Chains A and B, each alone.
Chain A
């Protein structure tokens, strides 16, 4: 079906909405199963097929319904059960072995409270507490993740039934490009890819450059080792990202949109491509969209296994079929980007914020968050905490509350030592430094960094020197080798740290590290090299005693570095 004008779209939307509401109202059991890369890893596909088997035998009238991930990794695989005339109940850790017991319980009508995570709505139901009161969700504010885990990511109809593409239609038919940019500026949404540059200002510069064609590009590369938010957003709600990109195309008055997705994110790639195909079928992409005479096209591109391709200029070379290596700036990409044309590049999450800004207005968005950091932020946690997952909180939300309440603090049997902030680009905070807001300014003030929002909890068994080595090694390995300070400087830095780990610190080692770092920071060409030494410097600052023990005494208090390990001599497997 192709929608050819606004009425057709509105008719489609209201019918979709009706089908959506009646889906859950009737005598039928609807059972949502979350299918994402994360839940698949935990056996969600087995759960799906076993549910099918047992429900077929149960005689219940039912429908299995695929949904995306809802961000609660700790609860995967999850299902949500809509019994006739009942609110949705989410059950957690529904491994395939649990299925027979659950289906039996459905038949008798009593739901096993011990496996329930919560019930939708504000009231308890049959002894099951509201989902909103679950400690993982209580402090969250879900704007971007609103539909995640509730709609089928492969269905454009379900997206539209839940308010999808209204922002695009409004932008296309009721607003001038200047008005769109005005709202985005008013919202003051800042780039979610790390640097925090205001998106509206970038769009305005892109409009100002007088060269055509222009390009709009989403950065869904996500090659950092510490974060997994963008791929989940795409896996759960791909049309939201696509809609944001399409609105940017309207604002830039260009038909050319791209999403560059890291090649490792297989499911995200497939779901985004599917979303694009569906938008073409419905006539939201293509030529003469909704009878306006305007064209919008979207291409999906990908590369893999090179962290540096997330850097703006490198990403553009990667799209152009070249080795993804950064170049000097200026010219900035809004002047010369893809195919040397004006290009607006934003992070996936930045685009995802745009539809709600268009629907509700920039000032509405600007009312969320802090003075200078607006809106909500997707954050992920890694390491030994009780509840791993993707959370969405207002900018300025307390870091301590995020770690202790939402993520549940240390996992049983672990004592946390600190949180690595800003991934491979900044230093950590100790547990006594967590009373700070999650926003660009507050974190920078304390020497940490919001970055893309991937936090790593590490426990007492982790040696700060060894961890710093890991982060330095990452940057050294991922250096694209184009410029010398980064290519050789990081290698030198790694060699120094390795000497320290081996209990053979050179004289004045702290000064040596600082001097080497300074050269790398000052002389490197791109953002990778310019921050590569930060994790090491940050670790030194946060855990000076531990470094001192290595430097001075040649010992590793945690017993993790080679200096304190018995010499392992493993015999290599004999050659054939």
Chain B
């Protein structure tokens, strides 16, 4: 999954292809039913729902962009701003609470000034705090990184360890990039 594709580099073609293949409403009623899932496709492709994607969806389904924004701001899963390099779903369901997720939520707020949907200032990590259960309570407190890897039995210390790894990876990547351009 692509993460944080900058707004200027959004390639709408993949989204258009998906819309044309699988989103063919028979009438206006169908169009309305399909908006949220079309937005999910966009978020899946770009890591968030960029404005350009919203417009493409509106055009394809024949609905207004206002209506789409109304939905994007209602459903907490959607990101409308470009996320950081990594995205984390931090579970704050009951098992995770009992296991100590409140400490992580507080830590993020105190140390990084990050609440749900926000990105650390250095752009490393966007955190979405999930109120429902992620369904892997045996690992509580747990987070899902980049929609793929699970980090279980999290503590503030292990979270910091993870942050160190993510930051050093991104530094290494930056050095490589600059080598190439030299």
Contact = CB atoms under 8 A, between A and B. Distances in A.
Interface string A219-236: 000111111100110000
B98 A319 contact: no
Contact of A459 (B76, B77, B98): B98
Interface residues on B, range: 35 or more
Contacts of B147: 266
29 contacts: A37-B135, A37-B136, A38-B136, A41-B139, A42-B136, A42-B138, A73-B136, A223-B132, A225-B92, A225-B93, A226-B95, A228-B133, A228-B135, A263-B75, A304-B77, A305-B75, A305-B78, A305-B132, A306-B75, A321-B31, A321-B32, A321-B33, A382-B94, A383-B94, A383-B95, A470-B102, A572-B111, A573-B112, A576-B121
A305 B136 contact: no
Nearest to B93: A225
A462 interface: yes
Contact of B34 (A76, A321, A324, A575): A321
Interface string B2-18: 00000000000000000
Interface string B63-82: 10001001100111110000
B19 interface: no
Contacts of A100: none
Interface string A455-480: 01111001000110011001001100
Interface of A: 37-38, 41-42, 73-74, 76, 222-228, 231-232, 262-266, 299, 301-307, 318-324, 339, 380, 382-384, 388, 420, 423, 454, 456-459, 462, 466-467, 470-471, 474, 477-478, 568, 570, 572-573, 575-576
Contact of A478 (B122, B131, B139): B131
Nearest to A36: B135
Contacts of A572: 110-113
Given A303-B75, A383-B95, A470-B97, A222 B111 contact: no
A144 B91 CA distance: 28
B10 to A, nearest CB: 22
B136 A306 contact: no
B13 to A, nearest CB: 23
A575 B123 CA distance: 11
B150 A41 contact: yes
Contacts of B111: 570, 572-573
B26 to A, nearest CB: 11
B32 A305 contact: no
A324 B74 contact: yes
B181 interface: no
B103 to A, nearest CB: 10
B49 to A, nearest CB: 12
Contacts of B152: 41
B120 A573 contact: yes
B71 A323 contact: yes
A321 B36 contact: yes
Q: Which 9 A-B pairs have the closest CB atoms?
A: A382-B95, A321-B32, A305-B76, A304-B77, A305-B77, A225-B93, A41-B150, A228-B135, A41-B136
A185 B74 CA distance: 38
Given A265-B135, A423-B94, A456-B98, A41 B142 contact: yes
Given A322-B32, A384-B98, 7 more contacts: A41-B144, A73-B137, A225-B131, A321-B31, A383-B95, A388-B137, A570-B111
Contacts of A225: 92-94, 97, 131-133
A388 B120 CA distance: 34
Nearest to B74: A323
A228 B137 CA distance: 9
